[in-house]
Amino acid sequence: MTKPEPPASTPPLVTVVIPAYNEAETIADAINSVLLQSFSDFELLVIDDGSSDATSDISTAVADDRVQVISFKNKGLAASRNRGIRRATGELIAFLDADDLWTPDKLRSQVDALQRYPDAALVYSWTDCIDEESRFLRHGSHVQAEGQVYKLLLTRNFMDNGSSPMIRKSAFDETGLFDENYRAGEDWDMWLRLAHRYPFACVPSVQVLYRIRVKSLMSDVSQQFECVTAVLHKGLDRLPDSPDREKIKRTATANIYKYLSVRLIETGNSRQHGIQAAHYWWSFATTTPSLFHQFSKVLLITSAIFVMVVLPPTLFTRLRERAVAFNHKRSHAMMPYIP
């Protein structure tokens, strides 16, 4: 008598994709933040993008059957995400960068949201920023937008980073995968392509901790500006007859200038970075009619740029470190999820 075949295992509902390139310092914490999720029906794919450090060894050593480590030759972040999408068996895909963290309720909250909104292709959660020591730096955008969000998303990437969204895998069949030609802004490009076709959902709660590190400073800021500007122009081409097209373009351009200037302040370590920050900040100021409605923020950033340019780099770095420590101490009581 023929022995019956064992029943086929049911695929997990969610596939978590962690692209990783030389992230030995943070990969264990990132993986752990997934394994500590209150929602357990997932597989975790660590896509090792040709790391030369212990990233693969640390990931492989994790004793959990849900974790798979897949190594490739280095090809970049967009390619790693695409490799994860192709390997995913879950109906829903959530991305987590290897230096970021999730709060324990992230997956469950997003699965519930997509079940409540079956027409939505993507759900995102709010983000706060942490430093290399996992200390609170600042709040993210905390924008609550649902339904048709294309025009708003075109003015600013309010999802803040690639560790926030959960996406129906079937949506990639319509929109295609991440554009591997972009060296920056490829996530914004993807979210825009999805938003042009599908409604979005939002979990209005901080569930992503986005790590800002000095070593993550854009090696070529002008290249980053060119990439995100190209993403913007492609997005605007989808609105050829929109009466508010020029307003959207102006607002989006201003927000790109602002983003680059703030990132240079947060991660820069030289006068040249301060000069670059001043250049982008001036471009923001001259592009934004409502600039002085944000007077306190304007004063803070302008002062930071001035100090960055005038003081020796080591002194500026020390002052920034003290400001981070003070902000962390002041905010820690309100932020119990920070390690």
- Using CA atoms, how far apart are residues 243 and 235, in angstroms rounded to an integer? 15
| Banded pLDDT at 235 (limits 50, 70, 90) | very high
pLDDT of residue 293: 58
| pLDDT reading at 171 higher than 80 | yes
- Give per-residue pLDDT as tens, 103-145: 999 999 999 999 999 999 999 999 999 988 888 888 999 999 9
Residues 6+ apart with CB under 8 A from 245: 236, 239
Identify the band that residue 49 occupies on the pLDDT scale cut at 50, 70 and 90: very high
Residue type at position 104: P
Rounded Cα distance between 116 and 144, Å, is 16
The span from the CA of 119 to the CA of 122, in Å, is 9
Has residue 335 got a pLDDT over 50? no
When pLDDT is averaged across residues 141-165 and rounded to a whole number, the result is: 96
For residue 12, the Cα-to-chain-centroid distance in whole angstroms is 24
Shortest CA distance to 23 belongs to which of 49, 43, 62, 44?
49
User: Residue 147 gets which letter from DSSP?
Assistant: B
Task: Compute the distance between CA of residue 260 and CA of residue 279 in angstroms, rounded to an integer.
Answer: 10
Q: How many CA atoms lie within 13 A of 307 on its CB side?
A: 16
Task: Inform me whether the pLDDT recorded for 92 exceeds 90.
Answer: yes
Ranked by mean pLDDT, the top range of 1-15, 65-79, 203-217, 246-260 is 65-79
Nearest to 262 by CA among 215, 306, 294, 304: 304
Give the integer Cα–Cα distance in Å for 268 and 64: 38
Give the count of beta carbons closer than 10 Å to the beta carbon of residue 316. Answer: 22
Assess whether pLDDT exceeds 90 at residue 339.
no
State the pTM of this model: 0.84
User: Beta 200-211 vs 101-102: how paired, if at all?
Assistant: antiparallel
The residue among 281 and 113 whose pLDDT is bigger is 113
For residue 285, the model assigns a pLDDT of: 80
What pLDDT does residue 159 have? Answer: 93
Three-class SS state of 110: helix
Quote the CA–CA distance of 36 and 319 in Å, as a whole number. 35
The mean pLDDT value of the chain amounts to: 85
Instruction: Provide, rounded to the nearest whole percent, the portion of the chain with pLDDT above 90.
Output: 61
**pLDDT tens digits, 252-262:** 998 898 888 88
pLDDT band at 268 (very low <50, low <70, confident <90, very high): confident
d(CA 173, CA 77): 20
> Could you give the domains of the chain?
14-212 (3.90.550.10), 216-334 (no CATH)
pLDDT given at position 194: 98
